[in-house]
Structure 1
């Protein structure tokens, strides 16, 4: 019957079968009323409940009576997501929308998350997409009959002002480092060669490339690694090119490289203050909406987005992004910073990649494994420049 009260234990039992719960504060308090191991404060309660029922929980902040609203996610075992973004507490901060017409906000949020996941977006991406969708819906909400009206349905969100700011309490240095200034790229990246081979690096520079990245993931030894980085920097000076060093930021600073490229995991370990103080440029990797929104807060010199197509170059937890997603990423961030597509790009798909409006492309295997890397780079570069 309508008046029947469903026991909390039954709710919790059912919750273990789902990917995400989206309670507000009152609902969270009800769900944890019989749990005596709640932790300290709302965040502790949230994290403990997430671990207890083995699922993700998004505590919605729409009930806050302030100019800002923060939703908190206790992340747990999310598919196709970096291990560094597992078992974390994330905040999604946005301005509150002052409107009387907010009927169905919670239902719309959860439905939008489920829809984004059904379209192939992992949970963290789905949450920020849904948050933007609801935010815009609230701004454009309208009345129907008596009482609170409904949210507008405005389609896919493509405006940054609707997307939330991401907070990572476990890594407060990200917030501090968001005030740092990194060097800008001095010329367009265009066809950006990424290689572990100094021979390949030199050949593409001789062929005319003016941006390259030395990516040595498994160095033979520390001495050889430093020699290779030093030689790459010297080659960059010789050909007046922008040489980025992947991961090894200390040696990049020591030998005055043009820039450093870091992955999502590396950001949390590197000293970004030292990199900025040394006057280096900073390139960052991303694999979807969540990671893009997280690292663009640092105002990097460029943002690499991948992997676009399936590639054996590197084992990744994320799935191929594809061209539809890439086009949406570009529409969202275009003009804010240079955007670079990477992963499985070659002559056969170059025109399709160009149509997404991405600024530049990074190529690994298509150049590194070519019989003549310099000519391979030239062919890709000529095609890329000719495409409109």
Structure 2
């Protein structure tokens, strides 16, 4: 019998007798992300859906006994902390975290600094606040305060502006490998806005706010879902996005329990809906962008990447109708000449030509389209490119890059590297056919496969749903490029996309050892 593996995630928090938040919400969220939840209860609360009536911390002896029992049999892949009761409890937890890291290596720690209940009941005195600041926050991989909690932890006045939130996140980032997410759950407005500051990405995560009075436990669930995603190996930025997707669905499925606010209800399948993907942008409220034009032919087929106009001419003569011109380290005049010639050749052949990186020259020379990496987005004049009618292709390797691309509304996305490649130095691990199939099914725009592709695997990439299959060396290093192109085109035409398989629960991690990139070992 094939027994599925579930990473173990500890939640160290208070128990909510009403079942809406605390340990109870944590365990539901951890389960929704296919992890096994183990709990260390720091305090018992007498509460219902309307108020917290009593809080009683467990004894230090009982706290240590729970940690010891779990450590002996169920060591964690990730830990989430919530309400910690008092400063003495916090110090015991810090000692256990250091002990576990010495015994089992670095593991992600997600700190949800629960300083008060949503009903207003305070859970933190000055001693606990100082213990957070001095001992627990510096040890965390991810911090998830709301705006009120963030201001209190950072010693700042209330955060009224977007700039205040961004400055507070920088102040709370104790070391460069740490991730800070200041959530907007305690705010109002039509958009649910969280500010992300991480080693991989930074900016505002936006989703339409779910119109429901039942949001109890959303903060606990968010932090626990991050811990679960980290336990699966996702880097911090992707873990945050997956958690936001999970809570979005949880809010949509929330329900009434009692006469007050009911709980969110997280469940599997949250990452299978494109509407749950948040937009990631540097501004909390970015200016609307004109969508880039659709491709003349969305069936891109064989997509050959070459480095000269001579190669453009050669592959066009061989029948290729999707080409990318990628030239590095040439003078501006040489680049202009190569681009101008390539644009003329492609137009005469009725081909779709994309100029890599050099968007200004592509614009000036009337190119059909450009292909940009995510690192180029800050420099490129995207509104000008869209207004001129150029098509735009964007590289994407992760959830956070997809979320950054979607508000731009490109003409296509490139997913990769699908297989290991030496054509370009990059930190990404091979995404595999699993991720390619996931993105091809999830997204409504064309997705091309790139990275490590050749005659042995292009059919599989096409069957996974790729609108185009991008190759470099398989053509340019072939002894007979024309014959190779014929074989590749035949393989692509023969292989039809097989979209009958179920959509994966989510994409696999995009970086090797993803969660350790945001851990302080």
TM-score of the superposed pair, with normalisation by structure 1: 0.86
Deviations 1:273-294 (A, max 9, x none): 3323333222111111211121
Match of 1:370 among 460, 473, 478: 478
Partner of 2:235: 122
Partner of 2:253: 140
Match of 2:458 among 346, 350, 366: 350
Counterparts of 1:224-243 in structure 2 under 5 Å?
224-243=334-353
Query: How far apart are the structure 2 equivalents of 1:10 and 1:196?
Result: 58
List runs of 5+ in structure 2 lacking aligned partners.
Answer: 1-56, 59-84, 91-127, 497-521
List runs of 5+ in structure 1 lacking aligned partners.
Answer: none
Q: Give 1:112 shift.
A: 1.9
Q: Give 1:121 shift.
A: 2.8
Q: In the alignment, is residue 14 of structure 1 matched against residue 136 of structure 2?
A: yes
Counterparts of 1:1-388 in structure 2 under 5 Å?
1-2=57-58, 4-5=86-87, 7-12=128-133, 13-33=135-155, 41-51=164-174, 55-75=178-198, 78=199, 81=200, 85=201, 88=202, 90-143=203-256, 148-169=262-283, 175-176=286-287, 178-187=288-297, 188-219=299-330, 221-333=331-443, 336-388=444-496
Task: Check whether the contact 1:15–1:55 (CA below 8 A) recurs between aligned residues.
Answer: no
Query: How far apart are the structure 1 equivalents of 2:243 and 2:477?
Result: 41
Q: Give 1:18 shift.
A: 2.4
Deviations 1:173-217 (A, max 9, x none): xx44x5224333212211111111433322221111111011002
Task: Check whether the contact 1:102–1:151 (CA below 8 A) recurs between aligned residues.
Answer: no
Q: Give 1:245 shift.
A: 1.0
Query: How far apart are the structure 2 equivalents of 1:158 and 1:297?
Result: 19
When residues 112 and 250 of structure 1 are mapped into structure 2, their CA distance, relative to the original with a 3 A threshold, is same
Larger radius of gyration: 2
TM-score of the superposed pair, with normalisation by structure 2: 0.65
Q: Give 1:144 shift.
A: 5.6
Deviations 1:75-104 (A, max 9, x none): 2xx2xx4xxx3xx4x111222223344343
Query: How far apart are the structure 2 equivalents of 1:54 and 1:288?
Result: 18
- The number of residues matched between the two structures is 368
Query: How far apart are the structure 1 equivalents of 2:138 and 2:302?
Result: 47
Query: How far apart are the structure 2 equivalents of 1:152 and 1:248?
Result: 44
Q: Give 1:52 shift.
A: 6.4
- Partner secondary structure for residue 430 of structure 2: coil
Deviations 1:14-44 (A, max 9, x none): 2222221111223223322389xxx973332
RMSD: 2.6
Query: How far apart are the structure 1 equivalents of 2:232 and 2:354?
Result: 35
Query: How far apart are the structure 2 equivalents of 1:16 and 1:51?
Result: 6
- Partner secondary structure for residue 291 of structure 1: helix
When residues 194 and 261 of structure 1 are mapped into structure 2, their CA distance, relative to the original with a 3 A threshold, is same
